[in-house]
């Protein structure tokens, strides 16, 4: 079974002005596509060719893990955002955040800190771990999926996620992600 590049859940220009169509052209159309292409090359003719993406991520290592996990992480990231998103969630998501972090403001601060202190390339995540919300960060292609955690939300902090629009201003990108892009309905569905 070939791994496919899933369609974006919105038009390529739908996240503008916060994330430009040009960024998505490169990030989704080039980077994400390259991970899909590389994963398919690495599984061709192997027992992994019959597995789905999550099975591959959970069992692979080395180059196959890196490429397959990046396919999974990026697909998850696209679905973590929506046009007109961001702001404070409601319902069970807000309740979970308040129980875990004290307040939404404290969650934002801790999530931003995780995104800002991830040295080099990686991800900031909101996860369920043992039934409780937790913020984690992962380097490179690492993913909560490989650690038995349930991912709820991610922010990609690889430079290709923001460099065209924000240059080296990672803090501005992370703040914009939280204030204008997070798809809280998707987070609620993942819970």
Give the list of residues 6+ apart from residue 29 with CB closer than 8 angstroms, or none.
none
Q: What is the mean pLDDT of each run of 10 residues along the chain (191 residues)?
A: 95 98 98 98 97 97 98 98 98 98 98 97 97 97 97 97 97 98 98 96
Q: Which domain does 146 fall in, by range? A: 91-190
Give the list of residues 6+ apart from residue 107 with CB closer than 8 angstroms, or none.
97, 100, 101, 126, 135
Side by side, the strands of the sheet bearing 150-156 are 132-139, 122-129, 150-156
57 and 143 fall within a common domain: no
Please tell me the distance from the alpha carbon of residue 13 to that of residue 6, in angstroms, as a whole number.
17
149 and 68 fall within a common domain: no
Q: Is the pTM of this model over 0.95?
A: yes
43 and 126 fall within a common domain: no
Does residue 156 fall inside a structural domain?
yes
117 and 48 fall within a common domain: no
Does residue 163 fall inside a structural domain?
yes
177: CATH: 3.55.40.20
Our count of domains for the chain comes to: 2
Domain boundary among 79, 109, 127: 79
58: CATH: 1.10.287.990
Does residue 10 fall inside a structural domain?
no
Does residue 147 fall inside a structural domain?
yes
| pLDDT of amino acid 180 | 98
Does residue 60 fall inside a structural domain?
yes
| pLDDT of amino acid 1 | 78
Token pair for residue 57?
Answer: 């991520």
Does residue 12 fall inside a structural domain?
no
| pLDDT of amino acid 179 | 98
| pLDDT of amino acid 110 | 98
28 and 65 fall within a common domain: yes
97 and 160 fall within a common domain: yes
DSSP bridge partners of 150 = 128
48 and 113 fall within a common domain: no
């Amino acid at each position: 079974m070939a791994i496919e590049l899933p369609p974006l859940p919105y038009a390529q220009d739908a996240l503008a002005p916060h994330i430009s169509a040009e960024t998505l052209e490169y990030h989704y159309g080039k980077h994400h596509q390259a991970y899909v292409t590389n994963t398919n090359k690495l599984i061709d003719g192997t027992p992994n060719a019959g597995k789905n993406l999550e099975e591959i991520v959970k069992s692979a290592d080395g180059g196959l893990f890196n490429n397959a996990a990046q396919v999974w992480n990026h697909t998850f990231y696209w679905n973590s955002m929506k046009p007109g998103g961001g702001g404070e969630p409601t319902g069970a998501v807000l309740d979970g955040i308040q129980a875990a972090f004290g307040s939404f403001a404290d969650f934002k601060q801790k999530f931003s800190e995780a995104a800002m202190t991830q040295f080099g390339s990686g991800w900031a995540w909101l996860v369920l771990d043992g039934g409780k919300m937790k913020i984690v960060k992962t380097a490179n292609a690492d993913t909560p999926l490989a650690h038995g955690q349930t991912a709820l939300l991610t922010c990609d902090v690889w430079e290709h996620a923001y460099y065209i629009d924000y240059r080296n201003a990672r803090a501005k990108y992370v703040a914009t992600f939280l204030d204008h892009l997070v798809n809280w309905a998707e987070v609620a569905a993942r819970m």
